[in-house]
Structure formats: C-alpha cells, structure tokens
Chains A and B, each alone.
Chain A
C-alpha cells in the first residue's frame, strides 16, 4: 500500500511535465542534474533515492498494474501517465500514510544503508560478545562497514551489556513517539542477534502479506526517522549518534562536480573545461549541481539580473516547469543552462517562503 501511495503521489506531481520514467529516476536516486532538479522542482526530495535497488522492469510492471486497476491512465503524450479520479481518491484516502511514514531521501539516500548496516553489525557483535560467542558469520560483507565497526568497537571499552541496554533505551526513546507499530516490528525482525538470524525482506513480505517493495520502503522510512531524530536530539541519543557519525562531512556533490567547485572561484567556465579536458556542457551540469546545494550560489555571475527577470516572466507565461516550453518563449541566445539555473533559484526561494510561513 505504501509503495502504491508513493508512486501515485509522485506521478501526480510529475504527470504534466515528465514521462513515467521521471518518477523512476527520482526513486532510484539517479545521479543526474535533471533528476535532482526534478526532485526539487516537484517537491519530491523526500523520495529521492529511497528505492535504489528497484529495477526498471519491476517498476514498469507496477505502473501497468496501477493502470489496470484504473488508478492511472496513459496520456496522449508518449509514456506520460496521469491519475484518474479513482487514483486521486485513493491518494486522498491513503495520503495519511505519507505523513506516518516519513522520508528524507535527498538527505539520507546514500547514508541510510551505511547507518543501517553499521547498526545491524553492532547489534550482532554486541549480542554475541555478551554470550561469549566468538564464532558467528557477520551479517555485513562490505569491508568499509566492517572495518569501521571494528575500529569503533575497540574504542568502546565497557561490557557489551552496557551498550545493549543503552541501545535499547535509545531505540525506545525514538520509537515510542512513532505511530507505526507494525513497521517497527518489521524493522526489528530484520536484525540479527545471538543465535537469532534476521529475516529477509522477502520472508517478511510473505508473513505480513505485503509486497517486498512495501517492506523495503517501511524499513527505509524507519531508518530515515531514526536518522532525523538522531540529528535533532544528539544529546539524548549519544550511542546512536556515534553509530550515525559521518566523518568529514561528505559532500553531496559528485566527485567531478567537487573538482569544478574548487576551480570555480578563480577560473572561468571555459578555462575549467579546458583544464579538465571536459566538454563545456559537462561543466554547465556541474554548475547546476552546485547551485542545488550551495546556499550562497552567485547566480548573477552566470545569469545577469535582466535575463533572470526575462526567464521568470517566461515561466509564468508557460505555466509549466518544462524547459522546452520555457525556452520556446525566449530569445535564441538565452541558453538551457540559464533557464535551469534560474529554475533552481526560483524553487529554492519558494522553499524558503514555505518554511518561513510554516
């Protein structure tokens, strides 16, 4: 149910401007400027990258199913879908799910799995240590996680039982305020402890009569709620904060965009392209990416204020976020690059307005 609701919600937001693949790219957290920008423009940041393992084929099957059950219908444009009246009704009826299950994909889409794996491994290590059992097979393979946990484990010198009680208290502190008992149960049952192997998503799906996608999203949502609470209440959740620590604030920029950002203060875009042996269009992509995350982004440096006004006017006139529609209303010399930057800028102002009034 949750997966369906998320899909319909996303499709509803994107229907007029993006093909059915748009929502797929947001869900799987595609590392393209277009997708990140879409997530921002259409207020789908919460769902960015929350289902990274989703296969296109499986996704399309679900879309087809929604169409067959009369919740979605194909538009005349290729591969565009919109909600039917039933679909909108469904969304109204189940919209509460999206409030109960909180997502923060844009913030946590890369870190949530890391955090969860560290947590699972710590639970396994401590519960076994408490029983003096040194022989078990770690649930996590990834050496970057196992090494991290190993290192922290050595620094934490008290008996395992102390940490387990702390963990228990901290979990209770966070979970008690949540209204999602079944999801919490599902979440806990995936953890592995002493002689107690966690269940797979597939097994839980069968047992709870849900889809595997639902189990995945419920779990992701609990992880996001946990991370959010940890960031908000660090002092009350010391142990979880330690497990959720991110050494050297990882930049959200792609590696290549980071390099461009370093050169940006002292070089022109053409110079950067030349020095890095990249196409100018790639550098444009980097600039748009930087503008998404950089609060103090110097828009005037790239788009002179009169052009900004022209583009904003065209946006209003077009009544759409579609680049092509906007471009058609503007003089030839105004580039897609200019429009994309202004769109991001306008959107971030709308965001600020919302948070201030709310």
Chain B
C-alpha cells in the first residue's frame, strides 16, 4: 500500500513526493476512516481528496463554499488531465444541471455548493450512484465560531446522516481547537481521525506598522514597501471600491509596475484573466478583496500587505499564508491605523440581521402564515420592502426552519411560538456578534501589542511556536532592510513597446522561431 500511494501520486499527478500531512490523511481516507484534516494553506490540501477520488471506485462529492472557487478548481483540474471532474452549482441553468446529474455516475469528482445539496432531486440522484467519499472543504464554515460561518453548512448534518455508509473527510486550513471541536460535534461522526499540522510559516516575517497620520501617510508607506520589495504582491482591502481606487493610484505612482485589481464584482472571465496573468508573471501587484487567493497556486508571492485589517486572526493567517509557498523569505505587512478598527466592526455588525430586521422579516412571514400563503423566494421587491439582503434572508429562513416554525412551505401560526422564535433568534445574533467582536479584539490587541508577533499570532492555533527566529517580526527587530539585503526579487520586466504588427507576430509566430 505504502509504495502504491507514491505510484498513484506519480502517475496521476506527476509529483515525486507527498507534502507534509498528505500521505497520512490519504492513507486513512483510503482505509475508510472518517478524517478531520487541518493543514496550512498552500500545503496541497486538495490533493487529499483528488488522489482518493481517482483511486476509489465510485463518485467523490466535494462540498465547497464559494462557487467561483469551485469553477476555478474544475477548470484547473480539467486543464491538468483530470477530466472526470465537474461542478454543480446554482449559476448553472436547469438544463446544464440536468445533464450533469444524468451523468453523475461517470464522474470521479463532483464539486457541489451546499445549498444545492438541500435539493431533493440532487439527493435522489446521489442515492442512485455509488458514493466513495464525502468531502467537506473549508470545514471551518460549519462552525459558528469560525471566521467564515455559513448557515448552509450547518444543514450538511442531515445530508451526512443520509449517507451514513460513506466516509467523510473534513478539511480546513485554519481551525482553532474550539472550531475543531465544533466541526466534529456538528458532523456527528465520532470518532473521527484527526490530523493537524502546524500552520506556522517560518519563512514569513511579520510586520505591523502603526500609521499615526491620515490615509495619505498610509499610501506613502504602501508605496515605500512596494518599492523596497519589487516582487509579486497581494494587497488586501475590505472594500471593492478601495481596491480599485488604490490600484489606480499605484498605477500612476509606479509606472514601471504591473498592477490590477480583483474582486467578486467582476465578470467570471475577467477574473480568470487577472488570475492567470498573475500566475504567468504578467502582473506583479494585485489589489484585492478577500475574494482573491483561495485556490491560487503561485509560489513566489513575496509580500502580502493588509491595507485594511480583516475581522479576525483566522482570516489573517489564511491570507498571509499565500506568501512564500516556495519556502523563500517573504513578508506580511499590516498598515494599521487605530481609527480604522471601525471598518471591521461595521462589517461584523452588518453580517447578521439585527433585532429590527429580524422582527420585520418574521412579522412579514407570520402575516403570510395567517393568510395561508407560502414563503416567497427572494426578489428585488422583497429586498426593498423588508430592507433585507439575500444572505440575511436565507439566514433567517434557516433559523426559523431549525426552530420548527417553517417547514418547506408550511408556516406555523401559533403566535406564542413566533414570539419565542423571534427572541431566540435575536439573542442568537446578538451572541454571535459579541463573539465576533471578541475575535476582532484579539486581532486588534495582537497588532497593538509589543510582544513577539509570531508567538502572539500562532499561539491561538497551536501549542508550539518556533521562537527566536531570524527575521521574526517587527517587534523582534525585523526591518525590511534586513530582508532586502538578502533577497533577489523577481519583477515583471517592462514589456517593450510594440505596434499591432509586432504584437500580432509575437502572438502567432513567436513559437515557430524556437
């Protein structure tokens, strides 16, 4: 078996050796165990199900939280000889979905969005084929304490129960011990085999720079870092608008560099183009929201800047983990203004419905119940009428369903039950907000502290942290100058100016010359 795994790796993926953790997880999966795998970003998490899917006889289902990420993954797999992969999601037309479901048995790997798993027709089809493995990617989304909780993930519980015979593999990059416990509890698959690996990245130096003046100062500092480290860079922002604005600003300030922005508001094809340009070293700087990075396999990113801070340590660790996957020295820089704590705080506040919205939506549904009407699907009209966005709407529906007030379309009419549910949901949201705020304060106090940043960051996730590292962090005396002295950077060379004739020739005929 042991040698066999290496052979599979070689034949199907062309790799010589497993990375840390892969072999252990894969071998337990192939033995039919339920497994929880916690592996750092960039350590080849997806191989842990891609390889078993190839080897196992039936279909492997992968639940994945982001549709765009899912589409990207399938594209990449297909580009690299993995043709038996497909994605099933709500952006597809009814016809496309039908075609995929008809051919379900011919796939090895089917990615599916959690809300589609609730569809009874999809469940029926899944029952008709033989399932080899059930994978829950980004499993921290299950946990209400995770940084990226998704109500749809909670409903996986019932699905997992429906397919009792199929082993489960839950994977995540960052999960504090509390989140790990939550994942195991929610999946109700005791005893799961647990494999956790250190998420500490020793080659990433940590810098927190305190900006005391205004935003102008921040932009100036940003430019100075980019100039010191002329290499592939990601800059994170908390808003699309800011990402676009700073991209344009940098473009004007640094004419020799290749800069683009990236966010979920762009067309799918456009986003793919930007990603691919970055991978092919045509771009060196991406100004992005948190939408960028998941599933990006670029090994030579040297600098990750947080122009805005995220809402908690877990997202932060994920985002900086995209730097230096080749193991070479890289840097994470946070440009921090105390006043800007308000930004993540506002994001947290707006994540879940507040008491008022909860009340409005519930009263509206209660009225429908009294009139004997069914639950409408989300529409623009609904948005305007109730002032509720789709995520919050779905969240509330789930909460009501969970409390037995809503079932498919049957609505509870007993007023006392509604009152109880409304106050429970309001309390739940309030609780979650308080918890998130606590997580935000952890991040803030980490940044504002004067102790070693490395120890302060990773001790939230594991017991052992490498101390007394060279080039450790800004609190241990690391400055960019030290890194600059030892590193040769790779920037995108300035392209020679061409006219259309030369451009066309180089595009179509260049290869023939070689």
Residues of A within 8 A of B (CB): 123, 127, 130-131, 134-141, 161, 164-165, 167-168, 171-172, 175, 181, 184-185, 187-189, 191-200, 202-203, 206
Contact = CB atoms under 8 A, between A and B. Distances in A.
Contacts of B511: 127, 130-131, 161, 164, 194
Given A127-B508, A167-B508, A200 B274 contact: yes
B248 A164 contact: no
Interface of B: 75-76, 79-81, 248, 251, 260, 268-270, 272-274, 276-277, 280, 282, 498-501, 503-505, 507-512
Given A127-B511, A141-B268, 10 more contacts: A137-B76, A139-B269, A168-B508, A171-B508, A175-B504, A181-B499, A187-B500, A197-B280, A198-B273, A199-B273
A175 B503 CA distance: 13
A190 to B, nearest CB: 9
B507 A123 contact: yes
27 contacts: A123-B507, A130-B512, A137-B79, A139-B269, A140-B269, A161-B511, A164-B508, A165-B508, A165-B509, A167-B508, A168-B508, A171-B504, A172-B501, A172-B504, A175-B500, A181-B500, A185-B498, A188-B504, A194-B510, A196-B282, A197-B273, A197-B277, A199-B273, A200-B270, A200-B273, A206-B248, A206-B251
Contact of A185 (B251, B272, B499, B509): B499
Contacts of B268: 141
Pick the most buried of B273, B277, B282: most chain A CB atoms within 10 A of its CB.
Answer: B273
Nearest to A196: B507
B475 to A, nearest CB: 38
A286 B491 CA distance: 59
B501 to A, nearest CB: 8
A182 to B, nearest CB: 8
B interface secondary structure, majority: helix
Contacts of A127: 507-508, 511
**A-B residue pairs, 6 tightest by C-beta:** A184-B500, A185-B500, A197-B276, A130-B511, A197-B277, A188-B503
Contacts of A141: 268-269
B269 A193 contact: no
Contacts of A187: 500
B508 A193 contact: yes
Contacts of A197: 273, 276-277, 280, 282
A135 B79 contact: yes
Contacts, number: 85
Contact of B75 (A137, A165, A167, A185): A137
A200 B508 CA distance: 19
A200 B272 CA distance: 10
Contacts of B276: 137, 197
Given A130-B511, A131-B511, A135-B80, A168 B504 contact: yes
A166 to B, nearest CB: 10
Nearest to B99: A143
Nearest to B75: A137
Nearest to B76: A137
A300 B166 CA distance: 72
A109 B205 CA distance: 54
Contacts of B510: 193-194
Nearest to B507: A193
Contacts of A189: 503
Contacts of B282: 196-197
Contacts of A198: 273
A135 B75 CA distance: 10
B37 to A, nearest CB: 27
Nearest to A189: B503
Contacts of A171: 504, 508
Given A141-B268, A197-B282, A206-B251, A164 B79 contact: no
Contacts of A161: 511-512
B427 to A, nearest CB: 40
A315 to B, nearest CB: 41
Contact of B509 (A168, A188, A192): A168
Contact of A139 (B81, B248, B273, B280): B273
B94 to A, nearest CB: 15
Nearest to B72: A137
Pick the most buried of A167, A181, A196: most chain B CB atoms within 10 A of its CB.
Answer: A196
B237 to A, nearest CB: 17
Contacts of B81: 134-135
Nearest to B514: A131
Contact of B260 (A136, A167, A172, A203): A203
Contacts of A203: 260
A164 to B, nearest CB: 5
Contacts of B507: 123, 127, 188, 191, 193, 196
Given A181-B500, A191-B507, A202-B270, A165 B512 contact: yes
A129 to B, nearest CB: 9
Contact of A164 (B251, B260, B500, B512): B512
B145 to A, nearest CB: 36
A189 B76 CA distance: 24
A168 B276 CA distance: 25
Contacts of A202: 270
A171 B248 CA distance: 33
A189 to B, nearest CB: 6
A134 to B, nearest CB: 8
Nearest to B271: A200
Pick the most buried of B251, B260, B276: most chain A CB atoms within 10 A of its CB.
Answer: B276
Nearest to B503: A188
B280 A195 contact: yes
A352 B118 CA distance: 60
Contacts of B251: 206
B371 to A, nearest CB: 32
A171 B500 CA distance: 11
